């Protein structure tokens, strides 16, 4: 049986639509009141694990799931040995540096050395600022990082931006993008090497879905 790790939250709806179109129906997970963390597909040849975003690469890397659907931002922040199979195209957002609208800084390189930057994405932020040869003091937050500049705890933030409305509502502005992120299909390398065709069938079907359909109704 194929096991697929799915991320809770914003990507789940389109992940399930994509998988259903490819022949694996896990719509049980989106039913009101559902509390199941693992369900079998209607065809009986696969099951889904519903896990936190950051845990999807872990379940796939350690072989508890052969396939996983998760944002590229998570894969960059938690790099593990995985096979990157299909860019699924949905869940688009950008990782960006943002500051207060009243800030004099208009690009990341303008930030002063050793300034404080608040973020949930320590690895991504460190990699980016290292590429600029700009030493900064990173502050890891798990909640609303927008409060960093508003309270004076940090000069800037690094965070995911979709529409930018949350930044605008809090008087912040994005000044530079690190990268653009979309949902990805990843696989366990060993499972793919030992595959007798079942996994490849799903991978090919997912590729066809991405090329031929608009996922969101």
For the entire predicted model, the pTM comes to 0.89
Least confident interval from 148-152, 190-194, 207-211: 207-211
Query: What kind of fold does domain 2-91+182-212 have according to CATH?
Result: D-Maltodextrin-Binding Protein; domain 2 (3.40.190)
Same fold, 2-91+182-212 and 93-180: yes
Pairing of strands 172-181, 183-187: unpaired
Q: Closest Cα partner for 43 from 1, 88, 15?
A: 1
- What per-residue confidence (pLDDT) applies to 213? 52
Delimit the domains of the chain by residue range: 2-91+182-212, 93-180
The 10s digit of each residue's pLDDT in 86-131 is 999 999 999 999 999 999 999 999 999 999 999 999 999 999 999 9
SS3 of the chain: helix, strand, coil, percent, to 5:
35, 30, 40
Q: Are 69 and 4 in contact (CB under 8 A)?
A: yes
- 93-180 is classed CATH 3.40.190.10: yes
Dist CA 145 CA 14 (whole Å): 26
Quick one: pLDDT band at residue 42, thresholds 50, 70, 90? Answer: confident
**CA–CA distance, 121 with 189 (Å, rounded to integer):** 25
Q: How far apart are CA 165 and CA 190, in angstroms?
A: 42
Please give the Cα distance from 169 to 159 (Å, whole number).
Answer: 15
């Amino acid at each position: 049986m194929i096991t697929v790790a799915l991320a809770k939250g914003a990507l789940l709806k389109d992940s399930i639509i994509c998988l259903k179109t490819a022949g694996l129906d896990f719509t049980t997970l989106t039913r009101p009141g559902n509390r199941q963390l693992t369900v079998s597909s209607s065809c009986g040849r696969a099951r889904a694990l519903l896990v936190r975003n950051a845990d999807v690469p872990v379940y796939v890397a350690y072989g508890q799931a052969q396939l996983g659907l998760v944002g590229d931002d998570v894969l960059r922040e938690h790099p593990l040995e995985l096979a990157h199979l299909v860019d699924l195209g949905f869940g688009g957002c950008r990782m960006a540096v943002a500051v207060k609208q009243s800030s004099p800084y208009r690009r990341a390189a303008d930030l002063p050395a050793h300034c404080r930057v608040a973020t949930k994405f320590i690895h991504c932020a460190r990699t980016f600022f290292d590429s600029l040869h700009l030493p900064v003091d990173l502050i890891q937050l798990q909640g609303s990082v927008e409060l960093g500049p508003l309270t004076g705890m940090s000069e800037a933030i690094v965070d995911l931006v979709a529409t930018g409305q949350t930044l605008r509502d809090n008087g912040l502005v994005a000044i530079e993008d690190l990268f653009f992120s979309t949902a990805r299909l990843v696989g366990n390398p060993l499972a793919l090497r030992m595959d007798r065709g079942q996994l490849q069938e799903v991978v090919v079907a997912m590729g066809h879905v991405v090329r031929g359909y608009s996922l969101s109704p």
